[in-house]
Chain A
């Protein structure tokens, strides 16, 4: 099946710094990419949906200035957590979809803000 990678897999940062997470579709062109957040033992919460070359659509309650999403190409999307705080610590998962229905998920990035 299609492969979606994320980098880094794990990151620890100090409070107040910004962290960038990359999501790449390795063997297909992703017209749409999704960013999710998952708290321990909970379901995935959709944060935003992005289409290549256009602004991301954020879900209600997600701060777009806090979580900057760039979908620069058909194979790359980035999520930047700006001025991170301990409450931003979480597991962030990206997902990519081409023109078909199937959505492929990355392995996730665990962010710990100290």
Chain B
């Protein structure tokens, strides 16, 4: 079946540190991949997405590249800020009308 696995949190970083949150997936076919961010007490916001192999999604300094050979979609940011503190969810959808399948979420805490 389809599934998404993220690195366990919490991840604690100092401001301006480099961030990587690992995400790997299992899916049939060629899924679309997403990263969502959830700030405390709020719903999810789409951060970035990629719909085919080798695509790079980017937004607000965050990037993730769709790697079919390693079935991965790792999230990276070169210099994190305190305001990036949130829970990050990796997700896939196997086809246009399919369901989003989420990873378990990774909590990021950035200290000044």
The chain A residues found within 8 Å of chain B, CB to CB, are 1, 4, 6, 32, 34, 41-44, 46, 49, 93, 95, 101-108
The answer on a CB contact under 8 Å between B43 and A108 is: yes
Some 21 contacts from A to B, beta carbons below 8 A apart, are A34-B99, A41-B105, A42-B104, A44-B102, A46-B99, A46-B100, A49-B99, A93-B43, A93-B44, A95-B100, A101-B51, A102-B46, A102-B49, A103-B46, A105-B44, A105-B45, A106-B43, A107-B42, A107-B43, A108-B41, A108-B43
Chain A residues with Cβ below 8 Å from B100 are: 34, 46, 95, 103
Chain A residues with Cβ below 8 Å from B43 are: 4, 6, 93, 105-108
Chain A residues with Cβ below 8 Å from B42 are: 107-108
Residue of B nearest to A10 (CB): B41
The answer on a CB contact under 8 Å between A41 and B107 is: yes
Q: CA of A1 to CA of B89 in the docked complex: distance in angstroms?
A: 19
* B51 nearest CB across to chain A (Å): 7
Chain A residues with Cβ below 8 Å from B96 are: 101
| A interface secondary structure, majority | strand
Q: CA of A42 to CA of B100 in the docked complex: distance in angstroms?
A: 16
Q: CA of A104 to CA of B49 in the docked complex: distance in angstroms?
A: 13
Since A32-B97, A102-B49, A103-B100 are in contact, a sample of 13 more A-B pairs with Cβ atoms closer than 8 Å, ordered by chain A residue number, is A1-B46, A34-B99, A43-B103, A44-B44, A44-B89, A101-B49, A102-B46, A103-B46, A105-B36, A105-B43, A106-B43, A108-B41, A108-B42
The chain B residues found within 8 Å of chain A, CB to CB, are 32, 36, 41-46, 49, 51, 89, 93, 96-97, 99-100, 102-105, 107
* A39 nearest CB across to chain B (Å): 11
Chain B residues with Cβ below 8 Å from A101 are: 32, 49, 51, 93, 96
Chain A residues with Cβ below 8 Å from B102 are: 43-44
The answer on a CB contact under 8 Å between A104 and B46 is: yes
Chain A residues with Cβ below 8 Å from B105 are: 41-43
Residue of B nearest to A109 (CB): B43
Residue of A nearest to B104 (CB): A43
Give the interface centre of A32, A43, A103 by most chain B CB atoms within 10 Å.
A43
